[in-house]
Amino acid sequence: MRGNEGNIFVFISSLIIGILISTNIVIPKKEGSSKSVFLSSQQYQDAYNSRNKLRSDILGYIREYDEISGKIQKYEKDDNDKLKMKNNINEELEQDKMILGEDAVEGQGVEIEINDGSTNDKMSLFEEQMRIVHNTDIIEVINDLKNAGAEAISINGNRIIDRSEIYCSGPFLRINGIKIAAPFLIYAIGNKSVLHNYMMSNENYLKIMITRGIYVKLSELNKVIIPAYNGTYNIEFMKKD
């Protein structure tokens, strides 16, 4: 009984597909030609999917257009809304400038002082090297601060942004093209308790530096001031998509 029902279903489905194929004809290949080309089932399905996607895209653009048009009409009718829009734009620009590092910022956060550890004549060369702060150490600390939610970071008065470099330059580190020497004072703005607890957890890099004998001091501060980025943004190849 179930086999008969299945055969009937297949028959009906085949009949419907056959009707759909036979009733969908494409525009003639050549202008002035009366010869017609029938769509295959796959061509019909592709055309059907393309039509649905196009309709969906058009409806989305219509909704977006109506929404933007409504906002524009509202702002044009009310001077207060115009002023509000201008203020919102200015606030957004100021926030973007802070995020990019173009403005000096302040807030609660932490101070981390890092310096080479003490050595003596009984130590091997390897042990002495382990107590020296390297550029890779500072990079790891910066990454941990970012993971902890730091909103702004500086090292010895140099703002760290997305394009900041931290290189080893002999006994110095080079940050934003400027050579700096130990001790390294790192300031970070964010939730001071969260930053402190995260940085001092066993799985993070400060604990590794402490076990190597490097001097590390972490303090919570109610007010941290971080200067603006003193470099320039040069965009040569990047453009809006």
Per-residue model confidence as pLDDT tens digits over 86-110: 777 777 777 777 777 778 899 999 9
User: Residues 202, 153: one domain?
Assistant: yes
How many percent of the chain have pLDDT more than 70? 79
For the CA atoms of 56, 58, 62, 63, the dihedral, rounded to the nearest 10 degrees, stands at 20
pTM of the entire structure? 0.61
User: Residues 110, 164: one domain?
Assistant: yes
* Mean pLDDT within 191-211: 94
Number of domains in the chain: 2
The string over 29-55, giving b where at least 16 C-beta atoms fall within 10 Å of a residue's C-beta and e elsewhere, is eeeeeeeeeebeeeebeeeeeeeeeee
User: Residues 222, 110: one domain?
Assistant: yes
How many percent of the chain have pLDDT more than 90? 39
For 125, 126, 127, the CA distances from 122, given in Å and listed in that order, are: 10, 12, 10
Inform me whether the pLDDT recorded for 182 exceeds 80: yes
Inform me whether the pLDDT recorded for 185 exceeds 90: yes
**3-class secondary structure, 134:** coil
Helix axes 2-22, 41-77, angle to 10 degrees: 70
CA angle 61, 64, 69 (to 5 degrees): 120
* Mean pLDDT within 200-204: 89
For the CA atoms of 170, 176, 179, 183, the dihedral, rounded to the nearest 10 degrees, stands at -90
Q: In the prediction, which pLDDT does 15 show?
A: 53
The conformation of residue 103, written as its DSSP 8-state character, comes to S
Q: In the prediction, which pLDDT does 69 show?
A: 79
Domain that holds residue 3: 1-25+37-77
Distance CA 116, CA 94 (A): 39
Read off the pLDDT of residues 151-170 as tens digits, 9 standing for 90 and up. 999 999 999 988 888 988 87
- Average model confidence (pLDDT) for the chain? 80
Inform me whether the pLDDT recorded for 146 exceeds 70: yes
* 238 found inside a domain: no
Read off the pLDDT of residues 36-89 as tens digits, 9 standing for 90 and up. 556 677 777 777 777 777 778 788 778 887 888 777 777 666 666 667 777 777
User: Residues 66, 115: one domain?
Assistant: no
User: Residues 45, 128: one domain?
Assistant: no
Q: Phi and psi dihedrals of 126, rounded to 5? A: -65, -45
Contact criterion met (CB below 8 Å) for 148 and 198: yes
* 12 found inside a domain: yes
* 84 found inside a domain: no
Inform me whether the pLDDT recorded for 8 exceeds 70: no
